[in-house]
Structure 1
Amino acid sequence: MTASGPDMRQQLLASGARLLAEQGPSALTTRRVATDAGTSTMSVYTQFGSIDELVRAVVDDGFARLAQHLAVVERTDDPVANLAGLTYAFVDYARLNPNLYAVMFGTASLGPFRRTSTEDLQFGRSEVFDEFVATCGHAITVGRFDPADAWVVVHQWWSAIHGYIMLENAGYVRPPSSVDKVLTPLLINVLVGLGDTREAATASIATVREFGPSGGQTHARAR
């Protein structure tokens, strides 16, 4: 029996996410999603209105899952250690979902779909980056970072880490060795640039060493 209503919507959403993850952006067509879900193309239009709206739903679900991925990072009283843990988790998520990450952050498009509207960009900020803003704000408050607008600080952090992710996803750097040789030194340099001392930043990062399922460090823990 074919699913309908909310069940069909979730089935199509799951199929879209699977095709995107396994075959890349070019696989996300109305026909291929419907076939993977075992239904007709009319179901896509009934549930989402268009393939663009299905893509938007897949991407929004991706941000929700990124928020869940970050939520498993253990929080401590050390905001710099927390930022490091969140950084490794953020990279780990991108490593696990390279095609979805590329669409989520506008480095790949699906036909006319690209996250450029204020509404689309706000979703990613509210679901994910408020956590980073709060963490950086804490680091500023306790004097680990220089006084600054926490959201601007997050953009500086993001610019560096997103660049690393793009290199890793393209195969120019390869984990796990690139984590110790490129990502961690990069993160330390960013932290020092934001106002921390190299010794304090290195000590905080040393507490973040638990590895996740794809090789990325995802949980902050005190030793």
Structure 2
Amino acid sequence: MVRQKDPLVRALLVNRAAHLLGARSPVTLRSLVAGTGVSTMAVYTHFGGIDGLWSAVRQEGFTRLAAALDALPTTRDPVHDLAALGVAYLTTAEANPDLYRTMFDTHAPLDDPAAADATLARLTTAAARATSAARFHPDTDPAALATRTWIIGHGLASLTTTGPLPRTALTHAVPLLTALFTSAGDTPTRATRSVRRAYRDLLSDR
């Protein structure tokens, strides 16, 4: 008899696995289902085993990140839009700290690597728009600039969401990104204004 897959059970196991990893707790079939009301067989039914579960957990993290990036509107200020993608990255990490840690703490292969790569591609597109709008030097490499933007966001998210620094450390994103965008050719005044606008809501409770 083929067991039916239940989306609610699948989501439960994904979140449970991410939580255990985030808590640095041993992850076994028994610990995964403890207190959930489902059997260990559910891991095989929905994921084919523990390895498939970890792949699904990593994929879910990138899926939620992609959804947050896709929800952002495109404005007339491409530098603001590039910075806003960094804000979405940080807020997604804050909203899903266990999934966020799993995205980078595990090495399970992704079910859809292209979907994960597309999250960085969104930053590359924004950097290319800013270059075309003459905010950055014409010889700017959009992919390289997007990567540097990602590195700043990832460093801050790792240190504040799952690490030792308080959330107030996110304020460092403004001078860090301003310096990055200025080095790419933007003026300090315009870069600061664009970044501050993007981070206004995130920093409003400081």
User: Structure 2 CA distance, aligned partners of 1:50 and 1:89?
Assistant: 32
User: Structure 1 CA distance, aligned partners of 2:144 and 2:96?
Assistant: 26
Structure 2 alignment gaps of length 5 or more: none
Conserved 8 A contact 2:16-2:32: no
Query: Could you tell me how far 1:217 is from its partner in structure 2?
Result: 5.9
User: Structure 1 CA distance, aligned partners of 2:65 and 2:203?
Assistant: 15
Partner of 1:62: 61
Change (3 A) 1:36 1:196: farther
Query: Could you tell me how far 1:98 is from its partner in structure 2?
Result: 2.4
Partner of 1:221: none
SS of residue matched to 1:148: coil
SS of residue matched to 1:5: coil
Q: Does 1:200 align with 2:195?
A: no
User: Structure 1 CA distance, aligned partners of 2:36 and 2:186?
Assistant: 50
User: Given the two structures, how large is their TM-score scaled by the length of structure 2?
Assistant: 0.83
Conserved 8 A contact 2:77-2:194: yes
Deviations 1:177-202 (A, max 9, x none): 3233x121111111112221111101
Deviations 1:115-167 (A, max 9, x none): 5x5876544112x1221111111011111122233222211222222222222
Conserved 8 A contact 2:124-2:142: yes
Matches within 5 A, 1:153-172: 153-172=145-164
The count of corresponding residues between Structure 1 and Structure 2 is: 200
Structure 1 alignment gaps of length 5 or more: 219-223
| Deviating more after overlay: 12-21 vs 62-71 | 12-21
Aligned residue identity for 1:94: A
User: Given the two structures, how large is their TM-score scaled by the length of structure 1?
Assistant: 0.77
Query: Could you tell me how far 1:204 is from its partner in structure 2?
Result: 1.2
Question: Which among 116, 129, 132 is matched to residue 141 of structure 1?
Answer: 132
Change (3 A) 1:32 1:55: same
